[in-house]
Amino acid sequence: MVLMAALTASLSRADALSDDVTAKRARLVAKLGRDTLFIAHSAPSRVYSLDVNYEYHQDSNLYYLTGIAQEETILVLMPGNTTRREILFMRDRDASREHWDGTLLSPEEATARSGVTTVLRASQFDDFIAAMLTGRRFGPIDEGEARAFFTALANGNARVSLLLSPGRVSDPMTPEQTFARTLRDRYAGFQVTDATPHLVAMRLVKTPYEQTLLVRAAEISAAAQIAGMLAAHPAAYEYEVKAAIEAASRSRGAISWAYPSIVGSGPNTTILHYPDSRRQMQSGDLLLTDAACNYDYMTSDITRTYPVNGHFTVAQKAIYDIVLAAQDEAFKAATAGSSLQQIHDKASNVIRNGLFALGLITDPKSDQYRMWFTHGTSHYIGLDVHDVGANTVKLEPGMAFTIEPGLYIRQSALDTLPRTPENLALIEKIQPAVTKYAGIGIRIEDSILLDTTGPRRLSAAVPRTIPEIEALMQQRTVPSTTAPR
């Protein structure tokens, strides 16, 4: 019975993935047009050192369209074809390679997972492209099948659509841009177009299947955050909390972290992406944990900040209350028709007034608050933790994002101000408050799914208010000895 039930559950989940990605491709095909050949490549593997690679992570857009996390995978869409509008190129099977690196998907398995029925070998891809871009048949794609594209090519108005979105500004050329140049050099009769805007628009609104994964990713991450809270105590090291968080995620089936866990105590709470986690915590410290998991390629994003001894100081409470109030106000603004920009504006207003009341700025209407609130309030989440989409997009049900105001009081923020007369006057006025609160960094971050009834706080299970946090911290079993380890 139990085995049967498990098998049925895993089969229906595979069906749900296959149905989801098949529907996504159908929507993309409808946007592309019949004169188009669309190509999406998998992510390359990345070397960690010598012959060791980083854990492989599929390109988000390719995963979005296929559900396939295997290297050397290429998806081709030909919307004008009579029947075979979708073709998948998969890495060639190779028994000796599979002995080292793991089993590769068979064509049947690739079809079952992705719903793409035409599966060819990756080694055939170059010949396939040469045939298509010169109007010749290749395997099952003959002249009748591809007539719409071949006609467009002969008329010089075919399109080859790629995911050309720029990488980081510092990257010279993405592999996709290099590929586009090669195609232009070798073949003619088409224009290269960028399909990225279509993918961005589609990825912004999560499908029902994606929403179930997102909810689960947040549930697991919430349990992990609580495990972190229970592992924190004076004399423990930051890495012990990090290990507790990541163990809780992995043991619940998460693939990995959604981003490297940020676990910083004391002055490290003011470093936005603190990477080290080597410090020994002390009574009186705050601990900031920004950590969440990747569950089946869906990410969440949660941050909590709490006192390692279980009790906030008066100064810590003062800053915490501002950030919490900003988050509450932002949450109220997270409705359909609003935008991430508007959410940020609401949160910023609370932050401005709170900082002014504590003497940390002198003008709540100015940009002074940016010395202490050094990032935005929200970003989309999804396949990527900082998922695609602009902050000005009108929010609608199915969109998912974070709400994460934060304040980071650092003496260096004053020390690095240009010594203008205005700044010198500002420094003189706020230095006492900065001294009082220096070293306090607080961020409160939840993962939000906007559904038809309003914003849902997917990470609500993690204590967030001061009484909730202090109550949970009472449940810790703190070691009685604090001998060095």
Record the tokens describing residue 3, joined without a space. 């085995």
Between 74 and 340, name the residue whose CB sits nearer to Mn ion: 340
> Which segment (107-115, 301-309, 364-372, 452-460) binds Mn ion by CB under 5 A?
301-309
Between 35 and 301, name the residue whose CB sits nearer to Mn ion: 301
Helix ranges, 119-167 (H): 125-132, 147-154
When CB distances to Mn ion are compared, the closest residue is 301
Binding residues among 92-111 for Mn ion as defined by CB under 5 A: none
Q: How far is the CB of 403 from Mn ion (least distance, A)?
A: 9
Q: How far is the CB of 206 from Mn ion (least distance, A)?
A: 17
Among residues 301, 329, 387, 446, the one that binds Mn ion under rule CB under 5 A:
301
Q: How far is the CB of 370 from Mn ion (least distance, A)?
A: 18
Q: How far is the CB of 404 from Mn ion (least distance, A)?
A: 5
Record the tokens describing residue 395, joined without a space. 């929010």
Beta carbons of 137 and 155 less than 8 angstroms apart: no
Q: How far is the CB of 17 from Mn ion (least distance, A)?
A: 26
Q: How far is the CB of 446 from Mn ion (least distance, A)?
A: 10
> Which segment (184-192, 296-304, 348-356, 422-430) binds Mn ion by CB under 5 A?
296-304
3-state helix, strand, coil in the chain (%, to 5): 45, 15, 40
- Amino acid letter, 439: G
Cα separations (Å) of 81 from 87, 150, 193?
11, 10, 19
> Which segment (4-12, 51-59, 150-158, 396-404) binds Mn ion by CB under 5 A?
396-404
Phi, psi at residue 416, to the nearest 5°?
A: -95, 0
Between 116 and 407, name the residue whose CB sits nearer to Mn ion: 407
Binding residues among 440-459 for Mn ion as defined by CB under 5 A: none
Between 186 and 375, name the residue whose CB sits nearer to Mn ion: 375
Q: How far is the CB of 45 from Mn ion (least distance, A)?
A: 27
Q: Beta partners for 268?
A: none
> Which segment (46-54, 263-271, 299-307, 315-323) binds Mn ion by CB under 5 A?
299-307
Euclidean distance between CA atoms 208 and 365, whole angstroms = 42
Between 128 and 401, name the residue whose CB sits nearer to Mn ion: 401
Q: How far is the CB of 378 from Mn ion (least distance, A)?
A: 8
Please write down the long-range contacts of 120-124, taking CB distance under 8 Å and 24 or more positions apart: 120/87, 120/88, 120/89, 120/90, 121/89, 121/90, 121/91, 121/92, 122/72, 122/73, 122/74, 122/89, 122/90, 122/91, 122/92, 123/92, 124/89
Helix 466-473 and helix 314-332: axis angle, to 10°?
120
Between 114 and 402, name the residue whose CB sits nearer to Mn ion: 402
Record the tokens describing residue 447, joined without a space. 């993962």
Between 225 and 402, name the residue whose CB sits nearer to Mn ion: 402
**Parallel, antiparallel, or unpaired: how do β-strands 118-121 and 86-90 relate?**
parallel
Between 36 and 300, name the residue whose CB sits nearer to Mn ion: 300
Between 327 and 402, name the residue whose CB sits nearer to Mn ion: 402
> Which segment (115-123, 167-175, 240-248, 394-402) binds Mn ion by CB under 5 A?
394-402
Record the tokens describing residue 103, joined without a space. 């089993």
Q: How far is the CB of 301 from Mn ion (least distance, A)?
A: 4
Q: How far is the CB of 217 from Mn ion (least distance, A)?
A: 13
How far does Cα 257 stand from its chain's mean position?
10
Q: Is 307 helix (H, G, I), strand (E, B) or coil?
A: strand
Strand ranges (DSSP E) for 26-83? 36-41, 47-49, 52-53, 74-77
Nearest to 437 by CA among 349, 323, 281, 282: 323
Between 36 and 348, name the residue whose CB sits nearer to Mn ion: 348
Between 107 and 376, name the residue whose CB sits nearer to Mn ion: 376
Q: Which residues contact residue 189 at a Cβ distance below 8 angstroms, ignoring those fewer than 6 apart?
A: 133, 152, 153, 154, 155, 156, 158
Beta carbons of 187 and 170 less than 8 angstroms apart: no
Is position 402 an interface residue for Mn ion (rule: CB under 5 A)?
yes
Q: How many binding residues for Mn ion (CB under 5 A)? A: 2
Q: How far is the CB of 54 from Mn ion (least distance, A)?
A: 22
Between 265 and 402, name the residue whose CB sits nearer to Mn ion: 402
Record the tokens describing residue 242, joined without a space. 């990090």
Q: Is 276 helix (H, G, I), strand (E, B) or coil?
A: coil
**Parallel, antiparallel, or unpaired: how do β-strands 36-41 and 158-162 relate?**
parallel
Q: How far is the CB of 391 from Mn ion (least distance, A)?
A: 14
The footprint of Mn ion (CB under 5 A) covers 301, 402
